[in-house]
Every structure is written in structure tokens, then in C-alpha cells.
Amino acid sequence: MDIQLVDYARWTPCRCMACARTEGKMFDLGVAIPGEGRMYLCATYCAPQIAAQMGAIETPKPKCSAIKANGDPCSADALPGYEICVAHLRVRQQKEETSAVASV
């Protein structure tokens, strides 16, 4: 078995066997599926997730998508289930509370 990183899935079924993604870099696992083609695993999502589950690497944490007041992107980790960090979530909640009080 010879595992190779390829730019895209070349042989049918032409998708990741775990998540069914069809684009991006894939690991060709070197396993032939009789009558079907080859087995692939996407390198951008599934392979890192599997490695994290096995304890080989830490699960990548998404970064906060907010922009600071000075125009720089925030470098903090985003909260689970949110696209922003704790500080920006507090700012958002304060703005919502202020606007709710002003509208009453």
C-alpha cells in the first residue's frame, strides 16, 4: 500500500470516502475498490480530524473573524459554535442590550 498526496481524486468515485468532498488535495490511500476505483481521504478536513482523534495532533481551533477597532484582524481563538472570540461576543451583546434599551 502506497499512500500519496494528490491534487485531486483522479479515479472513481472521485471523492473523500469519509465526507464525500470532491475538491482539494486528497490522500490516495492506494487501495483499489473492485469495480469502483480508488479510496481517497481529503487532506484539508478529514485527515486532520482523524489525526486529532488519534491524539497525533491538536484539533485546529478556528480564529475570530472580527476586526479590531484599529482595523487589524483579531488573533484570538473563536468560541465553539461561534465565529468570534469571547471579547467580541461581549461587545456584540453590549451593543444589542444598548439598542434594545434605546428602542424602548
- Strand stretches in 1-104, DSSP E: 4-6, 26-33, 37-42
User: What's residue 88's pLDDT?
Assistant: 92
67 in the same domain as 47: no
46 in the same domain as 79: no
Indicate the length of the chain as a whole number: 104
pTM for the model stands at: 0.51
47/5 Cα distance (integer angstroms): 11
Mean pLDDT of 85-103: 87
37 in the same domain as 74: no
| Number of domains observed in the structure of the chain | 2
Range of the domain at 13: 4-53
Does residue 93 carry a pLDDT above 70? yes
Give per-residue pLDDT as tens, 4-60. Answer: 999 988 888 888 988 888 888 999 998 888 877 889 999 988 888 888 788 776 666
Give per-residue pLDDT as tens, 70-88. Answer: 999 999 998 877 889 999 9
39 in the same domain as 76: no
15/28 Cα distance (integer angstroms): 10
100 in the same domain as 76: yes
76 in the same domain as 40: no
78 in the same domain as 42: no
